Amino acid sequence: MRKKFSACLRIITLVSVILPAIGCQNTPRMKGGKQGYLFSSFHDEDYGLLLAYSEDLYHWKQIPGSHLKPKVGDKIMRDPFISRGPDGIYHMVWTTGWARRDIGYANTKDLILWGEQRLLPLMKSKPKTKNCWAPKIFYDPQRRHWQIVWSSWVDDGTFGEPNLPHTSKNHRIWYVTTKDFEAFSHPELLFDPGYSCIDAYLLPAGHEYLLFFKDERYNDSQVFTPAHQNIRMARGKSRYGPFGDISEPITGKGPGKWHNEGPCSLKLGDTYYVFYDHHSGEEYFGAVKSKDLQNWQDVSNQMNFPEGFKHGHIIRVPKRVVDKLKKVHSGK
């Protein structure tokens, strides 16, 4: 009887450790109470973190003010990405400059009081790196560490010249891992489709991982070629690659609809959503959705985002967190 009890206790303990870790993957599960959605974004580079909330993913309202002013790097904040760890701490990374080999980092327990801002020198070991753009962080519950993903142009001859004329940059997707945001693994190549790409986002989907990214190849604006400067999707069996089976563009079909970047994705019920930043001509934050990952419907005209919000990230949070943020920043 004692042996059976001990075995049961070990199982219960194991489950209690694993479930919170699984729940924090991109869109965390919360115990009890209602959930809301929080959108981290930016507008002016030096203004800092912008936040908006929604109860249905379609109708968004801005929570007033700058929620964190950038103080490190070139003192700008682009592409802020927030994720909640299994310990309940919210971690944020962002782009600190257009031509730096590091990214910004800070954490918080409540999204109100933030800890010290620090620079994470992700590409210090690669001196030919021209930039570190749009970092994202994903928790791996199996290995119990964080995976940091971003795009860099490493001009050391590893990658050939862009195969499409007039493509001015030559980015690929890189990653490191860390348990504490203090020590990091050596940077490794995560994704190379054979051409310049940026803004990769990882989403678990059953027994595989989806990688949404921007195809950075040149488009001829005179003929409005719709083949590039759009969001595509790749598939992999592991979050660490390799990724293949690259899709046709899932956004920006038709003249004037391309120039889409900064994808973030989540699954609600049986529907996958991919949100993106459209920044050519009419600027707006848009979205597509799909149930089969093959046929994508543009639902941008059904979305209502705050004006001027750009490349960011959407996570689920307890509604009480949103309510507290609204109270603190609205003065009510």
pLDDT (tens place) for every residue of the chain, 332 residues total: 444 434 444 443 433 333 333 333 444 444 445 889 999 999 999 999 999 999 999 999 999 999 999 999 999 999 999 999 999 999 999 999 999 999 999 999 999 999 999 999 999 999 999 999 999 999 999 999 999 999 999 999 888 777 665 566 899 999 999 999 999 999 999 999 999 999 999 999 999 999 999 999 877 655 555 578 899 999 999 999 999 999 999 998 766 677 899 999 999 999 999 999 998 777 889 999 999 999 999 999 999 999 989 999 999 999 999 999 999 987 54
pTM comes to 0.88
Q: Please tell me the distance from the alpha carbon of residue 306 to that of residue 62, in angstroms, as a whole number.
A: 6
For the CA atoms of 187, 189, 190, 191, the dihedral, rounded to the nearest 10 degrees, stands at 150
Residue 76 structure tokens: 């700008």
Number of domains in the chain: 1
Whole-angstrom distance, CA of residue 26 vs CA of residue 90 = 12
Residue 119 near residue 130, CB atoms below 8 Å: no
Residue 297 sits in which domain range?
2-330
Tell me the C-alpha distance between 104 and 91, whole Å: 11
Determine the length of the chain. 332
Which candidate, 54, 32, 62, 26, places its Cα nearest to that of 307?
62
Q: What is the CATH number of the domain that holds 130?
A: 2.115.10.20
Which amino acid is located at 238 in the chain? S
Torsion-angle region of residue 81: left (phi > 0), alpha (psi -120 to 50) or beta? beta
- How far apart (Å, rounded) are the C-alpha atoms in residues 309 and 31? 30
Sequence-distant (≥ 6) Cβ neighbours of residue 326 within 8 angstroms: 53, 63, 332
